[in-house]
Amino acid sequence: HQKYRPMPTFKLADRKWPDADLSHAPIWCSVDLRDGNQALIEPMSVEQKLEMFSSLVELGFKQIEIGFPSASQTEFEFCRRLIDENRIPADVTIQVLVQARKHLIDKTYEALSGVTKAIIHVYNSTSIVQREKVFKLDKAGIIDIAKQGAQWVMEGAVAYPQTQWQFQYSPESFTGTEVDFAVTVCNHVIDIWQPTPQRPCIINLPATVETNTPNVFADQIEYASRHLKHRQAVKLSVHTHNDRGCAVAASEMALLAGADRIEGTILGNGERTGNMDIITLAMNLYSQGIDPELNLGSIEQHLEVFERCTQLPRHPRHPWVGDLVYTAFSGSHQDAIKKCLAIQKDDQPWDIAYLPIDPADLGRDYEAVIRVNSQSGKGGIAYLLEREFGVRLPRWLQIKFSQIVQKVTDQSGREVSGELLYELLWQHFGSL
């Protein structure tokens, strides 16, 4: 991926975190069908979940958290249908969430019986507020819950030897927990699971509520990366929420601080202000020359599925994939884009003012790049007429005609289409 040259501000050599490795994609885990789904006004039906699962597979996710099968009949049934109808490709691992409670863990194994491989994701809350106000437990009590959960998860797997199991633990509300205590809890879990590089476990550190700046979160991840036991046998995962609007930045910096794996959702659906938006992070990496290892060239057809199943429309200015993000209305932007496009060579790095990537990489075209409204200038008008009707205006006519268009757009306050421009041109200068 030589297409984009690294931005001058993105200097890996200057990184603060020596373990950082941002030369390749992280392990992605989509939590759309669990965290995303639990935040919807109307949770998805089994059929909708099946459709979304197929989209996630086509997009290239190799790990997909599919739900909380011990928590509801719909979730249980969805899990069974994936397994019974052989819908899980060989290179995809499904993940399920469960609390550290024995009967729920047993039910989870039942839901997964017969699956080829799966990740059991067990969690309990560790934060000060949850300890003091919700569970009324001290630190030792919280450690006991985590250890019990880890033990039950390990024991449950014994009854299903035909499945390749992987275990994941989250100290939920990590961001409200003293970081050294959170790591101590994780280390107790690691002691029980005894992972090896061949059979690693996953430790997932969630910004359940985003309370800090991304650099502070990254410092916490760095601390964990340095203090977790059997680090070579642990995949360090992060799961950021977007309460301060920085979930993507926090995950991105966590990667620089040593995280191996990222959980998030497509377009950032999730509790409150959402989960970390995987598409934005993946495209951020892509634009820095790092292959995100997701099939983003066909993203449009999948976004249509996500919007329909979640009933959440995409903002027209959503980073990278909004309808308007490759469109310029202002005259000076149009002029610069036009000049750069005219000399861009296919074999050279993409280098177009105001267009950080080639929209074609996301399956988009240039048709919408230049559009005309009251903010546009003669360059944009000339560009549209030439592109859509092959009409080339001499410079003096561009100036005169743009004054007429300006009046029309000022009065209407609206955008003008290529057809309307052509009509106006004909009306005013047809006799020339």
Binding residues for Zn ion, rule: CB under 5 A, are 35
- What's the CA angle centered on 39, arms 36 and 45, to 5 degrees? 75
Centre a 10 Å sphere on the Cβ of residue 20 and count the other Cβ atoms it contains: 19
Q: Which residues contact 83 (CB under 8 A, 6 or more apart)?
A: 112, 113, 114, 115
Output 170 or 402, the one with its CB closest to ligand KIV.
170
- Compute the least distance from the CB of residue 370 to ligand KIV, in Å: 42
Annotated binding residue 428: no
- Compute the least distance from the CB of residue 99 to ligand KIV, in Å: 9
- Compute the least distance from the CB of residue 171 to ligand KIV, in Å: 9
- Compute the least distance from the CB of residue 28 to Zn ion, in Å: 15
Annotated binding residue 323: no
- Compute the least distance from the CB of residue 253 to ligand KIV, in Å: 18
Unique residue bearing structure tokens 């449950």: 156
d(CA 102, CA 118): 18
Partner whose footprint covers residue 310, from Zn ion, ligand KIV, none (CB < 5 to 8 Å by kind): none
Pull the structure tokens for residue 94.
Answer: 């499904």
- What's the CA angle centered on 204, arms 167 and 292, to 5 degrees? 100
Annotated binding residue 291: no
Unique residue bearing structure tokens 């030369």: 23
Binding residues for ligand KIV, rule: CB under 6 A, are 35, 97, 123, 170, 172, 204, 206, 208, 239, 241
Annotated binding residue 347: no
Partner whose footprint covers residue 169, from ligand KIV, Zn ion, none (CB < 5 to 8 Å by kind): none
Partner whose footprint covers residue 252, from Zn ion, ligand KIV, none (CB < 5 to 8 Å by kind): none
Output 210 or 222, the one with its CB closest to ligand KIV.
210
Contact at 8 Å (CB) between 183 and 223? yes
Unique residue bearing structure tokens 């930045």: 249
Output 51 or 271, the one with its CB closest to ligand KIV.
271
Pull the structure tokens for residue 217.
Answer: 């979160």
Output 96 or 385, the one with its CB closest to ligand KIV.
96
Determine the residue type at 10.
F
Determine the residue type at 272.
R
Annotated binding site for Mg(2+): 35, 239, 241, 275
